[in-house]
Structure 1
């Protein structure tokens, strides 16, 4: 018993050490955001600020329109997250409960899109968005992220855990496809829907390359692009940049804390098939 407890303590200590190593860059960025300019580049480096100052945050808000950038990121992330949940759930519903020709082939083609590196398609995607006149628009920034094959796969695997008798019983009671989808599947798949929504939101919130390419107006920039505008070309000023990074991190941290239980239950949903 004592040996088992020692093993548990050892594993916990290892997990804590690994967690601290992973969190160290974030913690150091927070610390730097409260440092004065001379303390940031001091030798030896300071891990904690000698004097706490909010000047970096004031400079970040004064130099760029971070509120507007965060609003843009929120709108784009919300559009993408809602679209991925709705389209992913509807596609998975068809792959799970319907029988039609080339069903397996279509699903296989959908999964093969995961093997295509997104960077390979940036050029062609930009040409398409430019020809459609969607540059500097929310739809242009979100268009290539509206559907995710990985989310379709997660929904499909979750739907396959449901007994076929559930669908047959609903059909006998006169429950059509739309009613079965909206009143049966959506309520019982809420955990995985929340998980996909949050993961999509965070992923889109952190996008940098594509929003930078399809926007050339300052008021349409997203928060990740806006942070890079805090850099000074003539000197190395890290305080405002770190302050902007911390500000950009706050919404995703709040979302994760509020929905942590939903994320865990969604990840476990469908792990065991009865």
Structure 2
């Protein structure tokens, strides 16, 4: 490689590192501030790191709020909602990829059209529907609107179209039906893209705020994003416990990312090669 090429690679790598540091710096400061005492937080100039480890912030989080309950609520909603999205999206994508039925193109365009509707426009309608079903302040009421996603259906449909129909024809010759071909062949062949969708959906549902706030009205049903606001007191804002709470609720998202990191990278690479 020429000297000019080496210099370009070096500059590009340096730029990527700088951008990465800028992007991750708020997270680093959040974790650091969670161990700061009130004196460190009010110091001027501001400190990046605590002068000593101050654990009372975490003690305040777990004693002043039922944070464990909030984490369980968010985890349950995120897992069940994500599982529902994967099931409904993959089955719909299979139908639009491999099956032939009347109005196939029309219904596909209708589903694509729903992607253009801002989610906030549906909140009132969804709330009235959930209220009429008497699901307010229940897990079902929170999760029911999260069980389907046109975006994920479209992504999976585009992926399924890259898989040769000859696999399905060969499976049918061997006696497989649609459901067996879907579960035994298509799903294992799509593990990378399914893992990518799982991560994206889990993090999105874990961080959702407005909908759980509207349909839950008791403390034991709150999610972490709603419950963390209980650390803001009317007389003052205590940033240490807030940062500690935010740090705690970041952990599940980070763990999910690291667990499925290889599948995520493989899914992105696969999408890039087939796109």
TM range (shorter): over 0.9
Q: Following the alignment from structure 1 to structure 2, what is the Cα–Cα distance between the partners of residues 26 and 218?
A: 27
In structure 2, the residue matched to 1:136 is: 137
In structure 1, the residue matched to 2:205 is: 204
Q: Following the alignment from structure 2 to structure 1, what is the Cα–Cα distance between the partners of residues 274 and 60?
A: 54
Q: Following the alignment from structure 2 to structure 1, what is the Cα–Cα distance between the partners of residues 270 and 110?
A: 25
Q: Following the alignment from structure 1 to structure 2, what is the Cα–Cα distance between the partners of residues 258 and 181?
A: 25
Q: Following the alignment from structure 1 to structure 2, what is the Cα–Cα distance between the partners of residues 62 and 75?
A: 22
* Preserved CA contact (<8 Å) 1:161 1:270: no
Matched, 1:241 2:252: no
Q: Following the alignment from structure 1 to structure 2, what is the Cα–Cα distance between the partners of residues 17 and 273?
A: 31
1:74-102, CA deviations, whole angstroms, 9 ceiling, x for partnerless residues?
A: 10001111001111110011000011121
Aligned residues: 274
Q: Following the alignment from structure 1 to structure 2, what is the Cα–Cα distance between the partners of residues 158 and 116?
A: 24
Pairwise mapping of residues 81-96 of structure 1 onto structure 2 (< 5 A)?
81-96=82-97
SS in 2 for 1:115: coil
Residue 254 of structure 1, CA deviation: 1.1
Residue 271 of structure 1, CA deviation: 3.6
Residue 270 of structure 1, CA deviation: 4.1
Residue 268 of structure 1, CA deviation: 2.7
* Preserved CA contact (<8 Å) 1:33 1:240: yes
Residue 121 of structure 1, CA deviation: 1.1
Residue 65 of structure 1, CA deviation: 0.5
Q: Following the alignment from structure 1 to structure 2, what is the Cα–Cα distance between the partners of residues 10 and 272?
A: 26
Q: TM-score, normalised by structure 2?
A: 0.97
Q: Following the alignment from structure 2 to structure 1, what is the Cα–Cα distance between the partners of residues 201 and 156?
A: 14
Q: Could you say if the C-alpha distance between residues 273 and 256 of structure 1 is closer, same or farther in structure 2, counting changes exceeding 3 Å?
A: closer
Q: Following the alignment from structure 1 to structure 2, what is the Cα–Cα distance between the partners of residues 100 and 163?
A: 19
Residue 61 of structure 1, CA deviation: 0.5
In structure 2, the residue matched to 1:13 is: 14
- Extract unaligned runs of 5+ from structure 2: none
Pairwise mapping of residues 175-194 of structure 1 onto structure 2 (< 5 A)?
175-194=176-195
Residue 45 of structure 1, CA deviation: 1.2
- Extract unaligned runs of 5+ from structure 1: none
Q: Following the alignment from structure 1 to structure 2, what is the Cα–Cα distance between the partners of residues 215 and 96?
A: 38
Q: Could you say if the C-alpha distance between residues 160 and 264 of structure 1 is closer, same or farther in structure 2, counting changes exceeding 3 Å?
A: same
Q: Following the alignment from structure 2 to structure 1, what is the Cα–Cα distance between the partners of residues 273 and 34?
A: 45
Q: Could you say if the C-alpha distance between residues 14 and 273 of structure 1 is closer, same or farther in structure 2, counting changes exceeding 3 Å?
A: closer
Residue 273 of structure 1, CA deviation: 4.1
* Preserved CA contact (<8 Å) 1:158 1:269: no
Residue 57 of structure 1, CA deviation: 0.5
Q: Following the alignment from structure 1 to structure 2, what is the Cα–Cα distance between the partners of residues 267 and 259?
A: 12
Q: Following the alignment from structure 2 to structure 1, what is the Cα–Cα distance between the partners of residues 215 and 97?
A: 36
1:28-70, CA deviations, whole angstroms, 9 ceiling, x for partnerless residues?
A: 1111111001211222211111121111011011110100000
In structure 2, the residue matched to 1:117 is: 118
Q: TM-score, normalised by structure 1?
A: 0.97
Residue 272 of structure 1, CA deviation: 3.7
Residue 138 of structure 1, CA deviation: 1.0
Runs of 4+ displaced beyond 4 Å: none
